[in-house]
Structure 1
Amino acid sequence: MNKLYVIFLFALLILFGCSENKKKSNQPVYLDKPFLQDFSVKYYFNNNTFSPKKVRIDRNTNIQILALNKIYKPSNGHFQYPGKIVIDKNYLPMLDMNILDFITYKDKFVYLTDEAILSNAWAGKLYIPYELSNANIIAGGNNFDFMISGGGKISYLNKSEKIWDKELEGEKIIDIKFSFTQNEFFILTSNNLYVYSVSNKEFKNIINNDSITCFDISDKDKNIVVGTNNGYFETDYTGKIINEINKKLPWTELTNIKIIDGHKWFGTTKGAFMLKDDGKFNYYFGERWLPGNIVTDIYQGENKNVLILTDKGLGEICFEEMTLYDKAMKFERQVRERHIRYGINVDISSMENNDVSTNTLKKADSDNLWTSMYLVSQLFRYLVTKSDEAKQNCFESFEAMERLHTLSGVKGLFGRTFERKGYQEFDKEYRDFVEDYWYPGYNDMVSWYHVNDQWDWRSTASSDQTVGQVFALTLIAEYIDDPEWKKRAVTLLDNLMTYIVENDFYLIDKNGKPSLWGRWNPEYVNRFQPMIGDRKICSSNFIAFLQSAYKHTGKEIYKEKANYLIKEHGYLENLMRPFSEIGPAPKDADNWSKMLSEEWNHSDDEMYFLTYWSLYPYAFTDSLKTLYKEAIKDHWNYIRPEKNSLWNFCYAMTGAEDFDLKESIWHLKEWPLDMVQYETFNSHRKDIEFVAPGFMGHKTKEVLPPDERPTLKHNMCQFNLDNTSRSGEVSAGHTFLLPYWMGRFLGVISEPKK
């Protein structure tokens, strides 16, 4: 190690002295006011032969869908509980009609059949027969006048007469729309966009372009938004270009455009998107949002909702005003309803067609870690709100983590998870990545054990699971106001750290041998060259563990061991090493080092930031605290592009005043209410700037919003773009609730302001 660097660090210790820094920070605070949260309610067709054409809603909030020349309606859909699309039997005569098109006219349904224009509104008095053959499009004018078309023929008529007709030879009419302010019909064909003036009966071609696929008119902006098979452009009402073609879109093959409340909505062959005020897009793609990916129609729904019709069904994008607190409480209920297994916070799996009511509570390697994060979220919630429910949730999770200790049968050793006997196969778990590295047989062992005739227990506890234990036990010991529970937490922490210290800084597993990942011994830690991340993280984590144990037990051995590792084995130098110096192993390194450093380990970020809650507050001296803060800031700056509220708030715990509060709130607001892991794709997008991934794995210049990307856990690369897995639902307990309640606990998020 660099001896001069060690001398420099200890010189800083002397320089700063040992007095505690009492200076208060002046951190910004987010006022938790209502915002619009989007989520989707989906309705599916029962087969793939429907060829849906159009969706509309009337003033009674009835939604109708035109498919196969019949009228259908959505039935019994709710958030995360999809509905179905069924035939609309409200008006029996409609079942015998051949419906070619329909519109909402003056907030009522008007239908184009193969015989007439008609409506069931206005006491059924609207009935206009017509003679045009092959009619399939209708648009309404100002005063019960309608334009219909079929093929290349147009007919403009009202109840008493046919006003005007036209045939466009060699062209097929795609769509007709009416401008109420201009009193003009706009007619889109396969080659041109025409305008017909009702006032002077003038018909003219304003745009010639054979790539146009769709359009909409904005009476407010007095312009036309024109979609093509490769982007969109804007013109005035005369066809003069206002904005040149824009191809920097999530997808450029446009099928539909609708202007809703001043926002441009686009349908494509790969989902839908809305242009936001900041020039970026909300992208609604995949089953988190839509039943199918090919959009056939978009229409404004009830309140602020938007109806998006696709090849496989209807997606209703709902916008609900809520505060971050409101959002958190939705997740609180969701977690309690379907993410608790024996007190353990878990994901769910084995869902049938993404139906959360068909779920199975999933066992996972990291049950212990996810539970610790949920536990702390409930602890923070209790400390902020004094909620008895939160306190009970916290204690229930603690009992589950405590049981991971008692089931092992070894004082100080804990497990990954547990299950009732007979429901877990005791298969050998082959690990090819430890072939010829760890002790013989480790790559082909059984980690499950029978505890008794009732329970089975899984061993192989690891460093990240130890982080979870220390994180939860530390914060319970520090903040809980119940002496008995505090004592239980301190006892577990003491037992765990005594077990590791007495075994030469190894976590000895049930089989009597060190766990693969539970190793903090200098012989192991310093075997890695300085650029290998494990050398840094093992040092950082373990010094934090020892500091917490010393703080809460008062046992000098923990402080002595920490100082021994700092002074004799360079653990301070290791943990202070800048992240800019962490990277791939050199060519002459051993295979284990190369495997561990092939890419950035995002799970390490989670391990670092959770243990910073023991590293920084429990520093033995104020000078050490200053150094730790420097190391934490260096780490935070390195992962800052992720805009992750959990990392940002863990950094804010140090008193930092610039911790990206704005980005943190963006992260929490954009977090999806629907956390089912759907197939997700973004690599096709044309609105994002791609970069070479590099060591960190960042594939784009800027991270996508959480509700558009596949990654819903903090320990994964937030710049991942695609995921073909449909593996279940992630719990909000360790993903959203922890950063939200941490922000509340730190005082950087206010109580809700209605």
Structure 2
Amino acid sequence: MNSWRLTFLLVFWSGIGFSQIPDIPFEQWYSIKYYATVRTDGKVFSDRNHLVQGLSGGQLFLPANGQFLHPGTLMLDTRYRSMQGAKIRTMNVYQNQFWYLDESKLWSNAWAGRRALSHHLPQAKSFAGGADYRFLVSDGTSLEYIKDSLTLWQTKLTGEDVKAIHYARNTFWILTVTNLYTLQNHQLQNYYSGDGFTSLALNDTSIYLGSEKGYYHWNKRAKQPTLHTKLPSVSISAIALIDGHPWLGTNQGVFTPKPDGTYAYFQGERWLPGDQVVSIAQGPQQTILVFTTHGLAQLSKQSITLQDKAYFFENQVRARHIRNGFNASLEGMEKGNLATGYLADADNDGLWTSMYLGSQAFRYAATQEKQALENCRESLDALERLYTLTPVPGFPARSFERSSIKSQLADSKVWQNSPQPGWTWKATTSSDEAIGHVFAFATVAELVNDPNLQAKAIRLLDTLMNHIVSHDLYLVDYDGKPTKWGRWNPEYVNSFPVNVGDRKLNSSNIIGMLQTAFHFTKKEKYRQKAFELMKKHGYLANLARPMNEIGKAPDNADEHSKLLSEGWNHSDDEMYFLGYWGLYRYAFNDTLRSHYRKAIIDHWQAERPEKDATWNFFTALTGTQTFDVKESIWYLQHYPLDLIDWRIQNSHRQDLRFLPDNFRKQTTSQVVSPAERPMQRHNRNTFILDENGTGQSEFSAGDTWLLPYWLGRYLGIIKAAPSNHSLLFSN
């Protein structure tokens, strides 16, 4: 959505409730990739028939069998038998038709093959067409201007190497490493001199000249260019003007300027087969063809709504990310090949599934869709089995699997045989799991209008909380000992210095958990325990402590406190905000709710730089009218459709303003777009710039995107949009 349109819509955001933001279509970018079997060079173009053809190593190729998330390959173009074996030196597009150059002639297969002319530069390697089928040809040092096989003009550029020839403004433009020349009326003139020039693109209003140190830009009135160096990648290897808009290729991806002065950056195999860009051209149907040393990318965009995107992601989860009812990752893929890999177990299977279950509860509450109800049922069954497969009443496993593959499971030493034959379960359950479960059980109990599911959710909630209260506010494992992280006991919580985050976090979580348990079970023991913790042990003061007081443990603190406070813990953020559902929504009274509201908004103020729709929408639970709606829509719109863990690099970028090392680990003044940063869940630092992914994993959208979207829909922040729920892309 254009920023001015969104700003206009925000004018209506007022009053006690939330005026819904219309789900206006936006441009969703995605990439179709075609890999080459050998290293490539040369060029790629598209003609009037929307055919894509390229030249590499003297051979013509076509992209074949590519779809979004299902890469194709580059195949030899064998359609014209007369061209097989031809020593084609380069190709170009003139009057929207392909033209080819060899050691003696220049021709096209269009116009019934009539268009062909001779030249006299046996080592010719570049050309461009001008008016009335006149062409300028170069072998790097010599220039020959021809029409109908007649030489109209020629010259030699001593000591220079022609990099590119273009025709615009009734003029030929010739670029060498050190000079930009014009040729008009047989007069060669120097237009601009410098060094390290690499590429050129121009039209009637602008000139873009690429160099090893950035790019130069002349607008229509400028006599001297502006040199741009604050770029995602500085050394420019290719430029194309597409619909008047510049696209610039480098050895670290491709980028294009945005109206706000920043750049949209496409780097890594989320977007490109290789980062070293060879050429760029306009493709069919408003696509961008980016030819790299490892293949071709067709950068595409489609006008969709957030609701369209939601159903695309709903299909992604159901097709590839459900393991025994869990919301799981697809691991072990062969370089992004979705037909390979396996559904992996994870320490936080219960947490990721709880977040997905919450999304489906919000979806059902917003739409009453039967499939959302069935998804809730299946995920709740998976969470229930976490309790029934362990021998300890009320103690949930982290995960479970069939015992036949126990030896293949990560951390196999913590996997235990279940009393139920044929199954194994993972021990050492953490507070992450517990707060996730309580959140999920509460959303089902409150929002899913199915008596059986509601009763099951409340029973499981009571089962978990009874275990915790009965075991002195610990999760006690099969060995009779508390787990490392399942601890809410005052002796543990208050052992931390007041500025260590775990003291605040655990206090906030357990009060929210106890309130939730009391709200749905009405068992007085939960209410009594919560007030005991707040009045006798200072948990209200703990959870209300401002975030600006949270930091590193003092020098005299114990080693455990120091370890847990080396930097901002983003996994804690996820636990806080999931816990805020029960903390605020099920507050015992209005006085407490007021305290909670202040604490939540204070925490959100610290999270605002991340522009995460999840934190923003959970903050909206408090009724505040300020929770960064524009940034939330930005997050949802810019989140990529490709959720594979490709290698992503941003730390080299010159267009970012880097910050000194800090406790929060915020690396840049502004968070990088989700489309440009490494793939991650909400529990990781969104300011991480680099990730050496290998395409072995695909994340589920169930917790990363569907949770904030459907929460926004449920709260009435985002308006429903017309949709036929059809798949927009093959995934």
Which TM bucket (shorter chain)?
over 0.9
Alignment of 1:648-687 (within 5 A): 648-687=616-655
Partner of 1:231: 214
Greater shift in the superposed pair: 110-119 or 334-343? 110-119
Q: CA distance change for structure 1 residues 124 and 429 in 2, over 3 Å: closer, same or farther?
A: closer
User: Would you say 1:378 and 2:371 are equivalent positions?
Assistant: no
Measured against aligned partners, the alpha-carbon deviations of 1:427-486 in whole angstroms (never above 9, x if no partner) come to: 8959xxxxxxxxxxxxxx634334443111111111000011101001111111111111
Q: Is the 8 A contact 2:119 2:149 kept in 1?
A: no
Q: CA deviation at 1:282?
A: 0.7
In 1, Cα distance between the equivalents of 2:90 and 2:435? 61
In 2, Cα distance between the equivalents of 1:265 and 1:159? 34
What TM-score do you get using the length of structure 1 for normalisation?
A: 0.92
Measured against aligned partners, the alpha-carbon deviations of 1:527-569 in whole angstroms (never above 9, x if no partner) come to: 1110111110010000000000000001111111111111100
Q: Is the 8 A contact 1:28 1:657 kept in 2?
A: no
Alignment of 1:599-618 (within 5 A): 599-618=567-586
In 2, Cα distance between the equivalents of 1:558 and 1:541? 14
Q: Is the 8 A contact 2:394 2:466 kept in 1?
A: yes
User: Would you say 1:93 and 2:82 are equivalent positions?
Assistant: yes
Q: Could you tell me which amino acid in structure 1 is paired with residue 35 of structure 2?
A: Y
Q: Could you tell me which amino acid in structure 2 is paired with residue 218 of structure 1?
A: N
Measured against aligned partners, the alpha-carbon deviations of 1:94-129 in whole angstroms (never above 9, x if no partner) come to: 112111111121111111122211111111111112
Q: CA distance change for structure 1 residues 731 and 312 in 2, over 3 Å: closer, same or farther?
A: same
* 2:27 aligned counterpart, secondary structure: strand
User: Would you say 1:211 and 2:196 are equivalent positions?
Assistant: yes
Q: Is the 8 A contact 1:144 1:158 kept in 2?
A: yes
User: Would you say 1:35 and 2:22 are equivalent positions?
Assistant: no
Which of 50, 59, 67 matches 1:61?
Answer: 50
Greater shift in the superposed pair: 520-529 or 722-731? 722-731
Q: Is the 8 A contact 1:426 1:448 kept in 2?
A: no
Partner of 1:80: 69
Measured against aligned partners, the alpha-carbon deviations of 1:188-238 in whole angstroms (never above 9, x if no partner) come to: 0122110011xx33221111112211111022xx22111110111223579
Q: Is the 8 A contact 2:182 2:190 kept in 1?
A: yes
Q: Is the 8 A contact 1:89 1:95 kept in 2?
A: yes
In 2, Cα distance between the equivalents of 1:428 and 1:89? 49
Superposed structure 1 runs of 4+ greater than 4 Å apart: 236-239, 426-430
Partner of 2:711: 742
Q: Is the 8 A contact 2:392 2:477 kept in 1?
A: no
* 2:37 aligned counterpart, secondary structure: coil
* 2:601 aligned counterpart, secondary structure: helix
Q: CA distance change for structure 1 residues 428 and 367 in 2, over 3 Å: closer, same or farther?
A: closer
Q: Is the 8 A contact 2:391 2:418 kept in 1?
A: no
Measured against aligned partners, the alpha-carbon deviations of 1:252-294 in whole angstroms (never above 9, x if no partner) come to: 1001111112321100111100111111111111111101111
* 2:163 aligned counterpart, secondary structure: strand
Measured against aligned partners, the alpha-carbon deviations of 1:494-528 in whole angstroms (never above 9, x if no partner) come to: 11111111111111111111111111111111111
Q: Is the 8 A contact 1:428 1:446 kept in 2?
A: no
In 2, Cα distance between the equivalents of 1:288 and 1:550? 46
Task: Calculate percent identity across the aligned residue pairs.
Answer: 44
* 2:406 aligned counterpart, secondary structure: coil
Partner of 1:156: 145
In 1, Cα distance between the equivalents of 2:711 and 2:175? 54
User: Would you say 1:623 and 2:606 are equivalent positions?
Assistant: no
Q: Could you tell me which amino acid in structure 1 is paired with residue 698 of structure 2?
A: E
Q: CA deviation at 1:613?
A: 0.5
Q: How large is the RMSD of aligned CA atoms in angstroms?
A: 1.6
Partner of 1:170: 159
Q: Could you tell me which amino acid in structure 2 is paired with residue 612 of structure 1?
A: Y
Q: Is the 8 A contact 1:271 1:284 kept in 2?
A: yes
In 2, Cα distance between the equivalents of 1:265 and 1:619? 53
Q: Is the 8 A contact 1:52 1:65 kept in 2?
A: no
Q: Could you tell me which amino acid in structure 2 is paired with residue 206 of structure 1?
A: Y
Q: CA deviation at 1:636?
A: 0.1
Which of 317, 322, 326 matches 2:308?
Answer: 326
* 2:432 aligned counterpart, secondary structure: helix
Q: Could you tell me which amino acid in structure 2 is paired with residue 230 of structure 1?
A: K
In 2, Cα distance between the equivalents of 1:250 and 1:411? 55
Q: Could you tell me which amino acid in structure 1 is paired with residue 192 of structure 2?
A: I
In 2, Cα distance between the equivalents of 1:167 and 1:151? 9
Which of 492, 517, 522 matches 1:524?
Answer: 492
Q: Could you tell me which amino acid in structure 2 is paired with residue 143 of structure 1?
A: D
Which of 203, 224, 234 matches 1:241?
Answer: 224
| Contiguous gaps of at least 5 residues in structure 1 | 1-22, 431-444
* 2:210 aligned counterpart, secondary structure: strand
In 2, Cα distance between the equivalents of 1:678 and 1:485? 39
Alignment of 1:74-153 (within 5 A): 74-153=63-142
Which of 186, 199, 207 matches 2:173?
Answer: 186
Q: CA distance change for structure 1 residues 204 and 426 in 2, over 3 Å: closer, same or farther?
A: closer
Which of 420, 427, 436 matches 1:468?
Answer: 436
Q: CA deviation at 1:301?
A: 0.8
Alignment of 1:119-518 (within 5 A): 119-159=108-148, 161-179=150-168, 182-197=169-184, 200-219=185-204, 222-235=205-218, 240-242=223-225, 244-425=226-407, 446-518=414-486
* 1:316 aligned counterpart, secondary structure: strand
* 2:339 aligned counterpart, secondary structure: helix
Q: Could you tell me which amino acid in structure 2 is paired with residue 733 of structure 1?
A: G
Q: CA distance change for structure 1 residues 46 and 451 in 2, over 3 Å: closer, same or farther?
A: farther
Greater shift in the superposed pair: 256-265 or 669-678? 256-265
Q: CA deviation at 1:658?
A: 0.8
Q: CA distance change for structure 1 residues 426 and 90 in 2, over 3 Å: closer, same or farther?
A: closer
Q: Could you tell me which amino acid in structure 1 is paired with residue 600 of structure 2?
A: I
In 1, Cα distance between the equivalents of 2:317 and 2:218? 50
In 1, Cα distance between the equivalents of 2:57 and 2:33? 20
* 2:669 aligned counterpart, secondary structure: coil
What TM-score do you get using the length of structure 2 for normalisation?
A: 0.95
Q: Is the 8 A contact 1:646 1:738 kept in 2?
A: yes
Measured against aligned partners, the alpha-carbon deviations of 1:379-423 in whole angstroms (never above 9, x if no partner) come to: 111111111111111111111111111111332111111111121
Q: Could you tell me which amino acid in structure 1 is paired with residue 175 of structure 2?
A: L
Q: Is the 8 A contact 1:305 1:318 kept in 2?
A: yes
Residues matched between the structures, number? 709
| Contiguous gaps of at least 5 residues in structure 2 | 1-13, 724-731
User: Would you say 1:592 and 2:581 are equivalent positions?
Assistant: no
Measured against aligned partners, the alpha-carbon deviations of 1:43-74 in whole angstroms (never above 9, x if no partner) come to: 111123xx321000111111111101110111
Which of 607, 617, 628 matches 1:639?
Answer: 607
Q: Could you tell me which amino acid in structure 1 is paired with residue 21 of structure 2?
A: Y
In 1, Cα distance between the equivalents of 2:222 and 2:259? 24
In 1, Cα distance between the equivalents of 2:135 and 2:502? 72
Alignment of 1:549-560 (within 5 A): 549-560=517-528
Q: Is the 8 A contact 1:699 1:720 kept in 2?
A: yes
Q: Could you tell me which amino acid in structure 1 is paired with residue 466 of structure 2?
A: T
In 2, Cα distance between the equivalents of 1:598 and 1:177? 56
